[in-house]
């Protein structure tokens, strides 16, 4: 109820226009009454009232039409100045000229009214309507001036016009000083000057910088740095959502825009296909659901073991076919595949948190290895055309149980006799903002006043936006011929301590950083591929890891033995037999 009440009180363009029209109608009535009173020396004869309301309605209607045409309902109170007052004068001149043209020929023949009262009414209307606008501005400036921030808008796009409309309607409490655009400097947009970057930084320092156009992360980083150097701490990103502004986030600065995203190829791969996604409620799985719907999938079947996660993704995508399913139970996943006969399976279900996997090795082996094996075996048995395994950079030279289990999954996907199923794996690093990742953790620690906990001063990680990673996963699948491990170009690794410092800058809050030591199984530096062990594809952002010769029969035998093992140390020993490069580091 409170939310509905607040939404009613929230200023919008429509509400402001309606308020102006009602106010102008009331003050037009007062001005006409006063005009009659002055014309008849404060003693209006009864006959003068005969057609008063007809005259009032005609004049007021014409007046409101002209006021609307002259944009008298399309500005915000606090910006009312000489330019708007001039438009008001022109609107009233036009309105009363039309009124005189229409009414004077009807004088005494059809309508009874004092003609001189119209001229008096013109001057009174000008005074009244201008006074109410100026009085409102004076009142706002005397009571709210401290809360109105100045801003500059960076870039010209459809968003720029939306922003200006929101400023002028009062929906956003900012006063724009300038628009920054190097190509159109020297011009004006809705009376706001357009400046070059150089001229802006030389002459203006607003309270906030609002970015209204898409920028590459590098440009965004430079802009953020420049703004901080000039004392501008508030940086906003304009959106086309219900909330027109959002804060600049660390994800904006770290995002990598794939240079060669092939939306056409992805669309051809997904459109009108039936897609089954395991782990559909997780960070990667839910984004894959989103992408598949966006690219026109015929049906999307979401398989998830968490009831809550499945509920959330189902609410977001009502067309999703949701299934609560444990992929470690072959019959469960096989029956779903048999029923829907998907064209593509995207296998994202996995335990991914390194410290939890270290504490629960048997559960991790079962979920990651047995779950993957069941999904692949069922896909092959039911002749699913395409199977894509989501893997991780932690599978390269693993030092923890989670990474080792994912490497076993890769080996199984590479070596299993796939018959009519094209199987590939796609390996990438950390995705920004995913559940349990460092960014939401750091954000919470900053909001709580710190300290920010970093495991080691030199630790680095690769980062990519979830949406971009999932698009490249689908793009890699379009070129799969079978048995590949695709590697996504994650760009340059980011030093985690630098990430923490940058987040403090963005949120304008400095808190202490505490180094707590590497966690069990954690690396200082993640590797996305083995040195020199990759081949290019036709896409710059995607590579292929050179395959290792694998005896599938022996691999399968060792996996079966591993799945029967309960002792944690024996599990590690068997994982090392399966993955010779696995050097377990439980503590540092």
Rounded to 10 deg, the angle between the 52-69 and 13-39 helix axes is: 140
Chain mean position to CA 358: 34
In eight-state DSSP terms, residue 519 is P
**Count of CB atoms situated within 10 Å of the CB of 14:** 9
Residue 525 DSSP SS3: strand
SS3 letters across 56-81? HHHHHHHHHHHHHHCCCCCCCHHHCC
Q: Check: CB of residue 310 under 8 Å from CB of residue 280.
A: yes
Burial class (CB in 10 A: 0-12, 13-18, 19+), 112: middle
Please name which of 361, 410, 420, 338 lies closest in space to residue 386, comparing C-alpha atoms: 420
Q: Is the peptide bond before 540 cis (omega within 30 degrees of 0)?
A: no
* Catalytic residue selected from 63, 352, 373, 394: 394
561 — phi, psi (to 5°)? -65, -40
d(CA 471, CA 528): 18
Q: What is the distance between the alpha carbons of residues 204 and 184, in angstroms, rounded to a whole number?
A: 18
Annotated catalytic, 394? Answer: yes
Backbone angles phi, psi at 389, to 5 degrees: -95, 125
Dihedral in degrees, nearest 10, Cα atoms 402, 403, 405, 410: 150
Q: Which DSSP state fits 580?
A: T
Residues in the chain: 588
Backbone φ and ψ for 451, nearest 5 degrees, come out as -80, 160
* Active site (catalytic) residues: 394
């Amino acid at each position: 109820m409170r939310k509905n009440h607040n939404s009613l009180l929230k200023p919008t363009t429509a509400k402001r226009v309606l308020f102006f029209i009602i106010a102008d109608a009331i003050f037009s009535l007062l001005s006409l009454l006063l005009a009659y009173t002055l014309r008849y020396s404060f003693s209006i004869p009864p006959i003068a009232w005969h057609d008063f309301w007809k005259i009032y309605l005609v004049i007021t209607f014409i007046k409101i039409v002209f006021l609307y045409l002259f944009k008298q309902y399309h500005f915000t109170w606090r910006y009312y100045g000489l330019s708007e007052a001039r438009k008001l004068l022109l609107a009233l001149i036009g309105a009363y000229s039309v009124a005189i043209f229409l009414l004077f020929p009807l004088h005494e023949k059809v309508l009874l009214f004092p003609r001189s009262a119209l001229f008096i009414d013109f001057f009174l209307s000008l005074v009244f309507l201008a006074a109410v606008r100026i009085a409102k501005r004076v009142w706002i400036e005397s009571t709210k001036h401290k809360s109105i921030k100045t801003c500059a808008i960076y870039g010209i796009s459809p968003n720029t016009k939306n922003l200006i409309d929101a400023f002028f309607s009062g929906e956003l409490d900012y006063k724009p000083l300038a628009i920054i655009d190097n190509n159109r400097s020297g011009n004006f947009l809705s009376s706001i000057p357009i400046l070059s970057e150089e001229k802006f930084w030389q002459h203006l320092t607003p309270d906030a910088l609002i970015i209204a156009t898409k920028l590459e992360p590098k440009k965004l980083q430079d802009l953020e740095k420049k703004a901080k150097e000039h004392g501008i701490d508030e940086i906003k990103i304009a959106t086309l959502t219900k909330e027109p502004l959002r804060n600049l986030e660390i994800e904006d600065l770290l995002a990598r825009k794939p240079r060669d995203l092939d939306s056409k190829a992805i669309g051809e791969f997904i459109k009108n296909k039936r897609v089954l996604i395991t782990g559909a409620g997780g960070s990667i799985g839910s984004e894959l659901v989103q992408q598949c719907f966006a690219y026109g999938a015929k049906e999307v079947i979401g398989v998830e073991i968490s009831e809550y996660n499945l509920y959330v993704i189902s609410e977001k995508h009502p067309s999703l076919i949701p299934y609560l399913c444990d992929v470690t139970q072959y019959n469960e996943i096989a029956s779903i595949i048999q029923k829907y006969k998907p064209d593509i399976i995207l296998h994202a279900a996995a335990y991914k948190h390194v410290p939890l996997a270290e504490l629960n090795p048997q559960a991790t082996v079962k979920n990651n290895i047995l779950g993957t094996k069941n999904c692949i075996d069922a896909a092959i048995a039911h002749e699913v055309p395409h199977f894509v395994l989501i893997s991780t950079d932690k599978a390269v030279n693993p030092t923890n149980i989670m990474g080792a289990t994912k490497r076993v999954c890769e080996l199984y996907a590479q070596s299993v006799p796939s018959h009519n199923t094209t199987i590939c794996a796609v390996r990438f690093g950390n995705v920004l903002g995913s559940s349990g990742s460092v960014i939401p953790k750091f954000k919470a620690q900053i909001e709580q006043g710190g300290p920010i906990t970093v495991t080691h001063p030199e630790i680095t990680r690769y980062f990519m936006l979830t949406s971009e990673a999932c698009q490249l996963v689908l793009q890699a699948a379009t070129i799969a011929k079978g048995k590949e491990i695709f590697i996504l170009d994650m760009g340059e690794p980011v030093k985690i301590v630098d990430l923490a410092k940058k987040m403090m800058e963005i949120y304008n809050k400095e808190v202490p950083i505490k180094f707590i030591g590497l966690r069990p199984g954690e690396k200082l530096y993640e590797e996305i591929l083995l040195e020199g062990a990759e081949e290019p594809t036709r896409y710059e952002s995607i590579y292929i890891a050179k395959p290792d010769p694998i005896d599938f029969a022996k691999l399968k035998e060792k996996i079966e033995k591993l799945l029967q093992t309960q002792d944690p140390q024996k599990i590690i020993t068997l994982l090392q037999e399966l993955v010779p490069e696995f050097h377990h580091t439980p503590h540092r």
